[in-house]
A and B are shown apart, each in its own frame.
Chain A
Amino acid sequence: MREWTEILLRSGGLFFLALFLIRVMGRRQPSRMSPFTFVNYIVIAMISALISIKIIRDLALGLIALGVWVFLSIALDYLALKSKWVHDLINGKATILMKDGKVMEENLLQVRYTGEELLRDLRSKNVFNMADVEFAVMETTGDINVFLKSEKKPVTPHDLGKQVSPQPEPQTVILDGNILNEPLSNLGLNRDWLKVQLDNLGVSQDNVFIGQVDGSGELYVDLYDDAIQVPQPKVKELLYANLEKCQVDLTSFALDTKNGEAKYIYLNNAQKLKQVTKKLEPYLLR
């Protein structure tokens, strides 16, 4: 066989073999790999390359080597799933770099990490002030994760004592002007509903690049034609404002009337509306 045809066949075959093997080995991101997995992938890549350009002459020998590296990697991953001991052996353990706001110098030395690098990685986590850090840990992948002191943590609705409504994830229902049926049915809606909503907005389906429905059933659309201004969903805010207006109206009726019984009815209803407005606030405004 001529040299070039052989290389062509080897390369073509290995291309698909490598594709398949890497798929079988899992879908970890290169940046999230532990150092050993990284080495593993590189060895597999190099063996494939060497077979492909015939530096390893014997195809069978090359494939054996490739097979061993792939098989051991899969086997180790499987064992690591089953046993924590193996997992720690392969991946190592996370190293605590800072505790109670103090840098653990000996741990830093253990992972060969300088103070400069620690500061750099803290900054990349948006922590510029060391005094804000309660706890920092280096994961087995080399990433740094930071736990801030409680007074420096971002405020959550829980901290503020505010009630918020649960928000299911939004579903994309239109892409490139095509209606996607599955996300629509996930929300319990159908094409007719979507058509009515689009008519209300006054846009045609072909003009919609992306359409998303949020958890409460409001449709947000982005159009191809950016000159058209689409009214953004404000129904809930409007509803809330209307509730408040009605409550104020009732109070003013109560003030206007001289009839004692009517005054009582107005005030009572104003009170009820006030309660219900308060109850609906987390759902309508947040």
Chain B
Amino acid sequence: MTVASKVKQTIATLQGIKSTLEIYAAQCQDEEAASAYQEGSRVVSETASDLEKRLKTLEFEEPEYRGL
């Protein structure tokens, strides 16, 4: 497994986490918990976008693995 594909996998997991957290934030009755979920989904999506940027660089460096 190349670094790029590992990073991709992590991005996918992070996006899954983000959407689940968003569902919880919408579903939950308690405001404090909802804000914690929202905060969580914000941080997770920031991390995912940072990783995506890094992924672009990686794919540029190793074009032969692009699209994996």
Contacts and interface: CB of A to CB of B under 8 A. Distances in A.
Interface string B1-26: 00100110110011011001100100
Interface residues of A, number: 31
Interface stretch (A131-139, A200-208, A240-248): A240-248
B20 A253 contact: no
Give the interface size class of chain B: 20 to 34
Interface in A160-213: 165-166, 168, 187-189
Nearest to B42: A276
A6 to B, nearest CB: 60
Given A168-B29, A253-B3, A276 B44 contact: yes
A2 to B, nearest CB: 65
B24 A273 contact: no
B62 interface: no
Contacts, number: 80
Contacts of B9: 249
Interface string A236-276: 00010011011001100100110000100110010011011
Contacts of B20: 235, 239
A57 interface: no
B30 A239 contact: no
Contact of B30 (A165, A253, A276, A280): A165
